[in-house]
Chain A
Amino acid sequence: MNVPNYAELVCASNFSFLRGASHPKTLVLTAILHGHTGLGLADRNSVAGVVRAWSALKQLRAEGWTPPDKVREGGAPGEIGWREEPPADPAVAELVKARANAFRLLTGARLVLEDGCPDVVAYPENRAGWGGLTRLLTLGNRRARKGECLLRLNDLSTHADDLLLIVVPPRRLDRLDTTLTRLREARPGAVWLGATMHRQGDDRRRLARLKAMAEQSGTPLLAMNDVLYHHPGERDLQDVLTCIREGVSVERAGRRLQANAERHHKTPGEMARLFADAPEALAETQNLLARSGFDLKQLRYEYPEEPVPPGWTAQAWLEELTWKRAMSRYPDGLPLKVRELLSKELAFIADRALAPYFLTIHDVVREAENRGILCQGRDSAANSAVCYVLGITSVDPNAHDLLFERFLSTARDEPPDIDVDFEHERREEIIQHVYDRYGRERAGIAATVIRYRPRSAVREVGKALGLTEDVTARLASVQWGQWGESIPDHQIVQAGLDPANPMIRRAVDMAERLLGFPRHLSQHVGGFILARGRLDELVPIGNAAMPDRTFIEWDKDDIDELGLMKVDLLALGMLTCIRKAFDLMRAHEGVDHDLAAVPAEQADVYEMLCKGDSIGVFQVESRAQINMLPRLKPRRFYDLVIQVAIVRPGPIQGDMVHPYLRRRSGSEPVTYASPGPPHDPDELRKVLDRTLGVPLFQEQAMKVAMVAAEFSEAEANGLRKAMGTFRGDGTLHVYEHRFIGRMVERGYDPQFARRCWEQIKGFGSFGFPESHAASFARLVYVSSYIKRRHPAAFACALLNSQPMGFYAPAQIVRDAQAHGVQVLPVDVNRSAYDNTLEAGRNGLDLRLGLRQIGGFRQDWAEALVAARTLPFDSLEVLRRRARLPVSALRKLADADAFRSMRLDRRDALWAARRLPDDDPLPLFTAADERELADEPDALLPCMSLGEHVAADYQTLRLSLKGHPLAVLRPVFEAEGVLTCAEVEAKRSGRRVKTAGVVLVRQRPGNGKAIFITLEDETGVINLVLWERTFEAFRREVMAARLLAVEGVVEKSPEGVVHLVADRLYDRSAELNRLSPSHSPAIQLSGADEFVRPQHPRDLRVLPGSRDFH
């Protein structure tokens, strides 16, 4: 039989959230394998998935197989893995390639109308139709809450120009007529009536009715299968999705589930058989396909023109700006090196027509400058001389070697990538400015596709299958294996469950299939898309959950794929801190700095870092970084670039850290691995000379692949893409073979080749390019400089920028005190909301602000400060003048902030408690009279130091009166427990006992060791626990706030001390000795990984700024 041509034009992918059960690319691939001539992808009120389908088709046309799926594995940048389809059979790939090239993809949306009308699938007929569709969706999105889209038939009929419409008949056909008529009037000749044969019993009768309706209304009948998944085997997954959506278990879902598995891709032959009564409906699919002349590649992106003044071309204006600003950047004359660089870069920018891009970023940065908001760009293009003179970055190209080369040398024909970090407290201003300047229809934040990860998948699948919450919680806690691998039985047993139980097994299997499915769209952290024309004619815009935010439906990858420009406007806490420090230095010390003007290369700053004295400093403040500092001994800026990049998974997994340190300390000669003849023996020297022959940066690893393993441009790109797969098998093993094979073939030491490869694998997910490291290193230097020269301002700014960084206020304050800063207590007569500086006997003192009091509101503090024209001399006066509620006064009293009135905490509290809850009587206020009569002294007992310390920790999370351990010292001394300082002084190998409060617990890398930092009144000590010890003392580690340990001192040659613990004791009960009634709240550091439980996978390799050892 002659099989007619067929194209499935009504397909929902899993971007019809919790409805479709297949990825867009799988739908495309299956359609091609079935021999369809095309496919129409129409998700529910959304076009979020179309780019995936489109780029999959592009790939299939080029290679005959689809690229791996990118899967987000963690919250931090770079935590990305790849999911691979099984490698293709080459013959099939050829067939697919041939068919794909003749295949047509329609991209549209299924409009689900809220007024009870049948669904309508809309495809653009041309570019204008696409714009109409996206505007229609934008209209529906903007009037709804996030994630919803409210559209009515009216909206559709008024926006129907250039759209091809398929009416999807509902189960009951009675109301169909009116819709058909309305749409046909709105769009004559472009409306189809869909028909399905879903084996519902009355299919043929229904088809006959539809056929009659179609003839009567003059709309052609269109065969379709209203596809929800690519293969009938996905029906159970679709059922589970339905259950998740409806919040029911599968047992109770009943007719909310599909009765059968018919809604999959069917072959043209099968469709022809099913539509034997209406063969014309099949032919109609080809007519519709031919009608659409739209392809996503027609979306042309144009840079916004705002930044270019009238009469200028973008390039000319960029050059003008660059030279003008260069003069002010280098007031002593433009160095020749910079002049040459600028010329070279400008020529490159002209060649690529990138001027509008730089101007747009400059435009945003200048606005930040005007508002006094610190910002700094990063990534390849950001570290150019042009960006330096335009103020986008502060890494001086004259002083430092250039990193722009990477950008210049990229053959990638895509827009450059610059991320700009802003002060975290003020970034929203910039975001709103961008909306204002470009308008909501021209600016939007990119989307982030929230996908199912193991925990969420198993939890929701478990619920859908009717497992109890306890069981799903246990399953979610199981450590998941590699992608595509099942959870091994022993792990299920470990979670206390029976792997033989079919329900458990099914939940696990189903969850694995659900992994990577999109769950909903969310807004990207700061990626903006700006356009010259209307952005809503490019892509639909919707409301975000946050007020005043709107975002588009496409994510970062879609945007890359289509070549749209994205500017990342990100938030960075350290910039807030630095700006606040600059402000304080200007106000109190008369020093005026900006990021670029901080004196470079000061020896004392590096001296401080070499000692590992870096609490609060950007990036290098983690324990691992602090331990690395004395080993690496940074002496110049480039050392900091290395310092930032070296304590990361890539170099560690590649075992590059120790060789680098040995070479740096001179205990190992600097050599360059070289190939055998006839190759250039020095070929790697050029790549690696900056890092002493050891590849440390991401681009070096890539460069090694290209130089030493002779990877072509395309291979390198493929490698870059495949790099993240080190956990799965994927395509990476193909590259592994090539990489090591070719290096060895060319005469390299196989061991070196293998190490380079290990490193590439490590880089995969956590690449730290050199340019990135350089931008960060600048902030490391600036923050170190402030800490060294202006310790009071530094601590003050750091406290005022909380929450950020690694350390709790208690440690910041202690560190400031250790650097000679006098820290003064919170006081109602001295403190402002923020922490402030006061002139003291030895320079500036740090006065704690009211913000340090837990739960004290900013407006209370402002009212208090405003009313403080004269010093307050009594609680009642304070209350009356500042009109504070009693709860505020109680908090002040709790925090012991009335000392200047000669009231100690206890008396103040007793007095504050007595104040009535309501507003003071107006009569008393007017007369400035006291409202309360005198009462006899309550003769409260005197508060002991221990009680004070404990209460300080409860209210302020720190105490200036003493450390809890100092109070408890006699107890521990009697037991032979040493202080942290005493342990630090012991020789390696000594067995000691010590105790301290727990600051942070971490379980990095493979989880074989646990790191715990303890603190006492003399300092901190770092514990290392091997996994076995941890399991034996799990409860102590997890529960103790005060931990006593026994272990062996281990000291590195650089003097870095660890205590390898073998016994732990939970001594938290001792804290009650401070005061039987106050249990001090010891704040764990923000980096503690057990407070915020993360998935074991996320724990295994930690994101950027966290500890890594």
Chain B
Amino acid sequence: MNRYRSSNRRHLAVWFPFLPTDRLLVGRAEPPVAPLAVVVKDKGALRLGAIDSAAAAIDLHPGMTLADARARVPGLEAVPHDPAADEALLKQVLDAFGRFSPMVAPCRPHGLMLDVTGCAGLFGGEAALSSRARALAARAGLQARTALSRTPQTARAMARFGPGGVVPEGQDRDVARGLPIEALELTAEDALALRRAGLVTLADLDDRPRAAFAARFGRDFPGRLDLILGLADSRITPHRPAPPVVADRVLAEPVLTDQAVDAVLTDLLSDAAGDLERRGCGARLFVLTFFRVDGRVRRVGVGTARPSRDAPTVLRLFKERLASLAAPLDPGFGFDQLRLQAGRLQPLSPRQDDFHAAPAKAEALDALVDRLTARLGPDAVLRIEAEDSHLPERACRMKPAVQVGRAAGAWPERESGQPPLRPLQLFDPPQPVEAISLAPDGPPARFKWRRVTHQVTRAEGPERIEQEWWHRDRARVRDYYRVEDVQGRRFWLFRAGRFGDEPEPRWYVHGLFP
């Protein structure tokens, strides 16, 4: 690793003081009419988590209860806190700031730290760099404060607790001495203790023997102070994405045939499997990238229903997939590089198979699902998932089998020895029939469906399902009957609406029993 002296390095701290609210305001066409706050739930009470500058200007502050804030500002707009969205935005901004320097790291909360050593020249000097950074933030809708100095700590303190700006080389200490002690970011108790002692600025601390502070505020206190005053060195850990499982083969001789591709793929898979095993993981997504000699790139992926690192299985899936591609692989003059990436990692503990045991039934089914999905695409292999609803047409749903997995919802239990109350298949939509029945809730005596009249000999019911009153377009109440006609055919019929209703109740057949 390159050792470097940080004494000649330069760091830019960027802070987005209103990141959560700025994020919300970006998407809006109109300027806000009322102060905006992000609220969090804390022990049953809603509290302000972050506020916008308008709210800050009228003395609202994070931590106060929403009720309290509303009592002062009835019009306050409150939006639920979404830390994940904030974090995502920060990541996004971080990528954008990569243009100033490759050395970028998040500086939480709501900030970034850039090592801009040697970069300023490209942007016309440090002051120009700083204002470019702020302009970039402004284009993303974020208010930002920046500070540039030698150590990241000085920069951070200057951005968040001081005036910001550029601290000329060699002046870190002089400038930072003017910062309030809050810049040390101590616990509230320690900060209060310092203030109670009458020590208000970093200068008050800097002028006194460090030992006195070490004895009172912990051994690392003087070090912390020195970092902010620029008296010690430190560096940042740049942010990089977690390295995925990647296996690469750069081929001396481009491959052209399927067999050759299979061979390389086998190699890649065994590399990746080894890597996955070391991590104790399996992957649910494998992507194979083909680099053609002429520079074209083609990606092909397969997914699995359960995490896997079993090379033969994945190989089989790839073969199925490659065989069924709508646009077949075109090697042109051959592929000179193949890369396999494994993603969606999940923990998978190593397992010793029983020597004789056949794979469990469920696993065999999963494997089948994987193979079919690989060949036909996820939307073609479906599984029925139980939905929690009384309405028959909502009681289940078809979903891609790879997504549903094992947990297919809770199906209602049936008592053994009792016939099923509902047919397996439903007509969608139910088919209208004409029927004659006894008031108020008798089964149909006969009905006409598709111009055929059925004489009902046996019937059971009704099963009454009320409308879902909370829906805007609610269906009418239904009385379902299981009926059998003279020929022994069995139907599932229902009457929508009650006797005496306006409009009159209508009959439908919703399914057939075997």
Name A residues whose Cβ lies closer than 8 Å to a Cβ of B.
172-174, 199-202, 204-205, 235-236, 239, 250-257, 259-262, 465, 468-470, 473, 477, 496, 502, 506, 890, 894, 905-906, 909-910, 913-914, 935-936, 938-943, 947, 951, 1034-1035, 1038-1039, 1066, 1076-1078, 1090, 1093
Is B80 at the interface (CB under 8 A from chain A)?
A: yes
CB contacts under 8 Å to A, within B455-502, are: 460-466, 469-470, 472, 477, 479-480, 482
Provided the pairs A906-B196, A943-B198, A1038-B71 are in contact, do residues A260 and B211 lie with their beta carbons within 8 angstroms?
no
Question: Contact between B466 and A260 (Cβ–Cβ < 8 Å)?
Answer: yes
Complex Cα spacing A733 to B462, Å: 49
Is B169 at the interface (CB under 8 A from chain A)?
A: no
**CB within 8 Å: A-B pair count:** 137
Report chain B residues within 8 Å CB of A502: 472
Give per-residue flags for B412-428: 1 if the beta carbon is below 8 A from chain A beta carbons, else 0: 11011010010000000
Provided the pairs A199-B462, A465-B470 are in contact, do residues A1035 and B415 lie with their beta carbons within 8 angstroms?
no
Question: Contact between B196 and A1078 (Cβ–Cβ < 8 Å)?
Answer: yes
CB contacts under 8 Å to A, within B51-88, are: 58-59, 66-68, 70-75, 78-80
Report chain A residues within 8 Å CB of B415: 172-174
Question: Contact between A496 and B75 (Cβ–Cβ < 8 Å)?
Answer: yes
Question: Contact between A938 and B208 (Cβ–Cβ < 8 Å)?
Answer: yes
Q: A172-B413, A259-B463 are in contact. List 20 more A-B contacts (CB 8 A).
A: A174-B416, A199-B441, A199-B462, A201-B421, A201-B480, A202-B460, A202-B463, A253-B388, A255-B388, A259-B465, A470-B39, A890-B193, A905-B196, A906-B197, A909-B196, A939-B208, A1035-B58, A1035-B73, A1039-B59, A1078-B195
Is B99 at the interface (CB under 8 A from chain A)?
A: no
Complex Cα spacing A256 to B59, Å: 47
Please, could you name 5 A-B residue pairs with CB atoms under 8 Å apart, sorted by A? A909-B196, A936-B212, A938-B212, A940-B198, A1034-B72
Complex Cα spacing A477 to B441, Å: 46
Give per-residue flags for B118-161: 1 if the beta carbon is below 8 A from chain A beta carbons, else 0: 00000000000000000000000000000000000000000000
**Complex partner residue of B466 from A250, A259, A935, CB under 8 angstroms:** A259
Report chain A residues within 8 Å CB of B463: 199-202, 259
Report chain A residues within 8 Å CB of B219: none
Report chain A residues within 8 Å CB of B445: none
Among B39, B46, B464: residue with most chain A CB under 10 A? B464
Complex Cα spacing A1031 to B455, Å: 75
**Complex partner residue of A473 from B46, B79, B215, B390, CB under 8 angstroms:** B46
Report chain B residues within 8 Å CB of A262: 464
Report chain A residues within 8 Å CB of B187: none
**Complex partner residue of B390 from A255, A468, A1090, CB under 8 angstroms:** A255
Kindly list the 8 A-B residue pairs having the minimum CB-CB distance in the complex, ordered from nearest: A254-B388, A201-B463, A1077-B195, A199-B464, A941-B198, A913-B216, A260-B464, A259-B390
Complex Cα spacing A941 to B197, Å: 8
Report chain A residues within 8 Å CB of B211: 935
Question: Contact between A940 and B67 (Cβ–Cβ < 8 Å)?
Answer: no
Is B387 at the interface (CB under 8 A from chain A)?
A: yes
Complex Cα spacing A869 to B59, Å: 51
Complex Cα spacing A905 to B193, Å: 11
CB contacts under 8 Å to A, within B370-395, are: 387-390
Q: Specify the chain A residue showing the minimal Cβ separation from B459.
A: A204
Report chain A residues within 8 Å CB of B216: 910, 913-914
A1040 to chain B, nearest CB (A): 10
Question: Contact between A204 and B460 (Cβ–Cβ < 8 Å)?
Answer: yes
Provided the pairs A469-B46, A473-B67 are in contact, do residues A1039 and B212 lie with their beta carbons within 8 angstroms?
no
Give per-residue flags for B382-412: 1 if the beta carbon is below 8 A from chain A beta carbons, else 0: 0000011110000000000000000000001
Complex Cα spacing A200 to B415, Å: 14
Is B512 at the interface (CB under 8 A from chain A)?
A: no
Complex Cα spacing A914 to B416, Å: 76
Q: Specify the chain A residue showing the minimal Cβ separation from B198.
A: A941
Report chain B residues within 8 Å CB of A1078: 195-196
Report chain A residues within 8 Å CB of B462: 199, 201
Is B107 at the interface (CB under 8 A from chain A)?
A: no
Report chain B residues within 8 Å CB of A939: 208
Q: Specify the chain A residue showing the minimal Cβ separation from B189.
A: A890
Complex Cα spacing A477 to B211, Å: 55
Complex Cα spacing A259 to B199, Å: 70
Complex Cα spacing A784 to B413, Å: 74
Provided the pairs A202-B418, A469-B46, A1035-B72 are in contact, do residues A254 and B195 lie with their beta carbons within 8 angstroms?
no
Among B75, B198, B208, B412: residue with most chain A CB under 10 A? B198
Question: Contact between B198 and A205 (Cβ–Cβ < 8 Å)?
Answer: no
Is B200 at the interface (CB under 8 A from chain A)?
A: yes
Provided the pairs A259-B465, A935-B212, A1077-B200 are in contact, do residues A470 and B460 lie with their beta carbons within 8 angstroms?
no
Question: Contact between A894 and B196 (Cβ–Cβ < 8 Å)?
Answer: yes
Is B448 at the interface (CB under 8 A from chain A)?
A: no
Report chain A residues within 8 Å CB of B198: 906, 940-943, 947
Report chain B residues within 8 Å CB of A469: 41, 46, 80
A1073 to chain B, nearest CB (A): 14
Question: Contact between A254 and B387 (Cβ–Cβ < 8 Å)?
Answer: yes
**Complex partner residue of A1093 from B67, B421, B464, CB under 8 angstroms:** B67
Question: Contact between B196 and A468 (Cβ–Cβ < 8 Å)?
Answer: no
Report chain B residues within 8 Å CB of A1090: 71
Is B209 at the interface (CB under 8 A from chain A)?
A: yes
Report chain A residues within 8 Å CB of B72: 1034-1035, 1038-1039
Provided the pairs A250-B470, A1090-B71 are in contact, do residues A259 and B464 lie with their beta carbons within 8 angstroms?
yes
Question: Contact between B196 and A951 (Cβ–Cβ < 8 Å)?
Answer: yes
Provided the pairs A172-B413, A252-B388, A1076-B200 are in contact, do residues A913 and B193 lie with their beta carbons within 8 angstroms?
yes
Q: Specify the chain B residue showing the minimal Cβ separation from A243.
A: B470
Question: Contact between B466 and A261 (Cβ–Cβ < 8 Å)?
Answer: yes
CB contacts under 8 Å to A, within B253-298, are: none
Report chain A residues within 8 Å CB of B212: 914, 935-936, 938
Report chain B residues within 8 Å CB of A236: 469-470
A1009 to chain B, nearest CB (A): 18
**Complex partner residue of B193 from A172, A250, A909, A1035, CB under 8 angstroms:** A909
Report chain A residues within 8 Å CB of B197: 906, 909-910, 913, 938, 940
Question: Contact between A201 and B388 (Cβ–Cβ < 8 Å)?
Answer: no
Complex Cα spacing A251 to B389, Å: 9
Q: Specify the chain B residue showing the minimal Cβ separation from A506.
A: B470
A245 to chain B, nearest CB (A): 16
Give per-residue flags for B161-198: 1 if the beta carbon is below 8 A from chain A beta carbons, else 0: 00000000000000000000000000000001101111
Report chain B residues within 8 Å CB of A496: 74-75
Report chain A residues within 8 Å CB of B208: 938-939
Among A250, A253, A913, A939: residue with most chain B CB under 10 A? A913
Report chain B residues within 8 Å CB of A261: 466
Report chain B residues within 8 Å CB of A202: 418, 421, 460, 463
Question: Contact between B71 and A1093 (Cβ–Cβ < 8 Å)?
Answer: yes
Among A204, A469, A942: residue with most chain B CB under 10 A? A469
Q: Specify the chain A residue showing the minimal Cβ separation from B466.
A: A260
Q: Specify the chain B residue showing the minimal Cβ separation from A943.
A: B198
Question: Contact between A201 and B196 (Cβ–Cβ < 8 Å)?
Answer: no
Report chain A residues within 8 Å CB of B413: 172
Complex Cα spacing A251 to B196, Å: 55
A279 to chain B, nearest CB (A): 19
Question: Contact between A254 and B389 (Cβ–Cβ < 8 Å)?
Answer: yes
Among A199, A468, A947: residue with most chain B CB under 10 A? A199
Complex Cα spacing A172 to B417, Å: 11
Complex Cα spacing A296 to B197, Å: 72
Complex Cα spacing A202 to B481, Å: 9
Question: Contact between B388 and A235 (Cβ–Cβ < 8 Å)?
Answer: no
B154 to chain A, nearest CB (A): 23
Give per-residue flags for B204-242: 1 if the beta carbon is below 8 A from chain A beta carbons, else 0: 000011011001110000000000000000000000000
Q: Specify the chain A residue showing the minimal Cβ separation from B79.
A: A470
Question: Contact between B465 and A260 (Cβ–Cβ < 8 Å)?
Answer: yes
Report chain A residues within 8 Å CB of B199: 940-941
Q: Specify the chain B residue showing the minimal Cβ separation from A252.
A: B388
Q: Specify the chain B residue showing the minimal Cβ separation from A258.
A: B466
